Amino acid sequence: MSGVWVFEDGIVRRADSDPPSGVGAGGSRPNKVLVHVPSGEVVTSYDVLERRLRELGWERYLYDPCLLQFHQRSTVHLITVPRDFARLKLVHMYDVVVKTRNVFEVRDAAPP
């Protein structure tokens, strides 16, 4: 991956000057949302996401103060998202989509 990477306190992170994924040009509203396809429900919180993942057999995995992680016993897949829902980025949404085929989609947010 290209870009500038910073190594601080034993952690490597990408140092971007771009706004976080999912934030519109004005920085006021997300331009993408995660949608539970069977119900058409927009994932607006981790309570919604966790409820839908549990329905599919996903379980909470380990406790981490910065992350929420979910796994399925039948696979090696691990879904990792930041504990703060406001920090959920497009890459996290697509992680959920890829690991739960045909259940979640990333869509353009409806205009306000």
Q: What is the largest CA-CA distance in the chain?
A: 42
Give pLDDT tens digits for 48-94: 999 999 999 999 887 777 889 999 988 888 999 998 898 999 999 99
Q: How far is CA 107 from CA 33, 69, 94, in A?
A: 5, 23, 11
> What residues contact residue 107 under an 8 Å CB cut-off, 6+ apart?
32, 33, 35
**Which stretch of DSSP H or E encloses residue 11?**
strand 11-14
- Predicted TM-score (pTM) above 0.75: no
Q: Which CATH number fits domain 32-108: 3.30.920.30, 3.20.20.210, 1.10.274.10, 3.40.50.1860?
A: 3.30.920.30
The pLDDT of residue 19: 46
Q: Shortest CA distance to 92 belongs to which of 108, 69, 61?
A: 69
Helix ranges (DSSP H) in 22-105 = 46-55, 90-99
Q: What residue spans define the domains of the chain?
A: 32-108
